[in-house]
Amino acid sequence: MVSLAANMEWLFTEAGVETAARVRAAGRHGFRDVELWGWREKDLPAVRDAAREAGVRILSVIVDPQLQLTDRGSHEAYLAAVAESVRAADVLGSPNLVVVAGQGRDGVSREDQRAAVVSVLREAAALVPDHLTLLLENLNDRVDHPGTFLTSTIEALDIIDEVGSPRLKLLLDAYHALVMGEDPVDLVGARMSSVGHVQIADVPGRHEPGTGTVDWPELLRSFVAAGYAGPFGLEYMPSGSTEQSLREIERIAAEIS
């Protein structure tokens, strides 16, 4: 069976507002990996201890704060945020830091904005130790992130190639790709080695798999056949309780080898 990772911002909210309590709830359910978003407002030692007690790995956190990589004027502050986020990831034992490009800039050519993104990611990758990986995520601008700069999976992969660091890989969020009309597996193809993590949610609605139009058994099997061997991150908004929302995707995951 394939493995799954639970997003702690949207799943197990029944356990309360504290992330540590949600991590424990995820562990009791049987998850071995969980994902976080921002870290600055969290009690990192408490989350770390909860994860250890529950036998759970904090799979990823974001570089916090998320700044405008398309604007060179933000780069100094962003690199400082990367350095701080590396230390936070080390406290949590997380192997991944998620990065996004930010909003597109009016009046600035796309070529200049892309060059700024490549430049700062190259510097950021140089700050990341060998035990950590930056995950570049492209987003959709049709529903969730109007005006976001990086919407194309292929362009994200090309940026990663241009940066040329083993410390930078792709966070392939299948939900964002599907909203943009992409076939995420076909797009990545032979470049699956550049994918560091995959997240999923159904389309439309960004709820749990089984609520929308996606053929999840086929999509997950396609990822596995293409060489993806990591956990699938469940970054969705449950339409009901967390436990109810997990039934279909856990059934599907159990049947895929």
Ordered by start, the domain boundaries in the chain are 4-255
Q: pLDDT averaged over the chain?
A: 97
Task: Give pLDDT tens digits for 17-34.
Answer: 999 999 999 999 999 999
- The active-site residue, picked from 235, 243, 248, 255, is 235
Q: How far lies 139's CA from each of 19, 166, 228, in Å?
A: 25, 22, 20
Residue 139, token pair as written in the block: 């987003």
Whether 137 is a known active-site residue: answer: yes
- Looking at 35, 137, 182, 208, which residue is catalytic? 137
Residue 257 pLDDT exceeds 80: no
Q: Provide the token pair at 162.
A: 């241009």
- 233: pLDDT confidence band, cut at 50, 70 and 90? very high
Q: Residue 187: pLDDT above 80?
A: yes
Q: Name 127's Cβ contacts closer than 8 Å, sequence gap at least 6.
A: 79, 82, 83, 86
Who's near 170: CB < 8 A, 6+ residues apart? 135, 136, 137, 153, 156, 157, 160, 188, 194, 195, 196
Which residue from 8, 134, 167 is spatially nearest to 62, judged by alpha carbons? 134
Among the listed residues 58, 26, 20, the one whose alpha carbon sits nearest the alpha carbon of residue 242: 26
Rounded-to-integer distance, Cα 52 and Cα 46, Å: 10
Residue 107: Cβ within 10 Å count: 4
> What is the mean pLDDT of the segment spanning 107-132?
98
Q: Which two tokens stand for residue 79?
A: 């690199």
Contact predicate 178/115, CB 8 Å? no
- Let me know if 255 is a catalytic residue: no
Mean pLDDT, rounded, for 13-17? 98
**Alpha-carbon span 133 to 249, nearest angstrom:** 27
Q: Is the pLDDT of residue 89 over 80?
A: yes
Domain range 4-255, CATH class = alpha beta
